[in-house]
Amino acid sequence: MNSVQTEKNGNSWTSLLSTYTPKFFIVLLYLVSTEFLMLWTQKFTKEWKDLDYGQEHPFFIVYTQQITYTLFLMLPLCKYCYGLVRKLPIPFYEITREDVFHAVILSGLFLGSAEFCVLGLSQTINAVDNVLFQNSSAVTFLLSIFLLNEEVNRYKIISILFSIAGAVLIIVYGVMRPEKSEENAKAKQEETLIGYVFILVSIVFYCLGCVLIGKWRAAKNNLEDTVVFLGLIGLVTSLLFWIILPMLHYSGAETFQLPPSTLNVRFFVNTFF
């Protein structure tokens, strides 16, 4: 009896490992690559700041990045044209009113998140920002409880507590340690409370958008649905939020000016990663 139970347990563990090991390495690769890109993006943002561009044109940066997602709509268009050429019965992708409504809400959330992020980065210590962004899972979990009826158990709570404890340790003993006093003093000259408020608002907006995607797109989660919806977010952004650019320009809050040509390549890469 015990041997049979042991064999079953062994088979179940083997099945779990074979199922989740590839996913684990994919997630690990994603985390490593996004962390690298985040650090590279901050360097890139600082270079814009040195040119007085990123600090003076934050909305243009995030608006242009988000409307670039409209290019994803080329996928269903190309697929439809291929069907016409080959005389195949390939219908054009159907976009419902519900899809448009969801795209409006999410485009506003993600645009606001990116805007507050850019505003906050120039007024905070980047190492602290990294820690805060990496702990956005705690915010996502809390929002999921109310919006997705996420199950609450001790393992999830312990995981969140470990994550928060790790953030505190990194900030206190990594960023603020005495031997880094000279570096911290220089950073604190640019550090403001409102900068961290901007970062926290950015995190909340982003996490809320992610949770709403999980709620609204649960039945439309294949690759084509996701790519088309991203394109729809870009299209909605370009059609609805362009009015903010002339408003900012004529009010003097942010004058319209194209970015330096030397940063265009990195700007494009940063948009899609």
Could you report the per-residue pLDDT of 179-229, keeping only the tens digit for each? 455 555 555 555 677 888 898 999 999 999 999 998 998 888 788 888 889
- If DSSP codes are grouped into helix, strand and coil, which group holds residue 272? helix
Residue 48 has what pLDDT?
Answer: 45
What's this model's pTM, rounded to 2 decimal places?
Answer: 0.73
pLDDT category, 98, cuts 50, 70, 90?
A: very high
Residue 95 has pLDDT above 70, yes or no: yes
Q: pLDDT tens-digit profile of 232-265?
A: 999 999 999 999 989 988 888 888 877 776 666 6
Residue 2 has pLDDT above 50, yes or no: no
Contact yes or no for 141/268 (Cβ under 8 A): no
Nearest to 66 by CA among 254, 273, 263, 271: 271
Cα–Cα distance for residue pair 242/63, rounded to 1 Å: 8
For the ranges 149-153, 174-178, 240-244, 259-263, the maximum mean pLDDT occurs at 240-244
Residue whose structure tokens are 């907006």: 205
Q: What is the mean pLDDT of residues 56-83?
A: 84
Cα–Cα distance for residue pair 107/242, rounded to 1 Å: 12
Helix spans in the chain (H): 2-50, 58-67, 74-86, 97-121, 126-134, 136-147, 154-169, 181-188, 193-216, 223-240, 244-251, 264-272
Question: In whole numbers, what is the pLDDT of the chain averaged over residues?
Answer: 75
Cα–Cα distance for residue pair 178/32, rounded to 1 Å: 29
Nearest to 47 by CA among 35, 34, 61: 61
Contact yes or no for 109/208 (Cβ under 8 A): yes
Residue 239 has what pLDDT?
Answer: 93
* Residue 54 φ/ψ, nearest 5 degrees: -60, -35
Residue 106 has what pLDDT?
Answer: 94
By mean pLDDT, which of 11-25, 58-72, 235-249 is the weakest?
Answer: 11-25
Residue 43 has pLDDT above 80, yes or no: no
Angle at 148 between CA 145 and CA 151, to 5 degrees: 50
By mean pLDDT, which of 118-132, 133-147, 207-221 is the weakest?
Answer: 118-132
Contact yes or no for 235/70 (Cβ under 8 A): yes
Provide CB contacts within 8 A for 184, sequence distance 6+.
Answer: 125, 175, 176
Residue 138 has pLDDT above 80, yes or no: yes
Residue 270 has what pLDDT?
Answer: 62
Cα–Cα distance for residue pair 225/68, rounded to 1 Å: 18
Cα–Cα distance for residue pair 270/107, rounded to 1 Å: 18
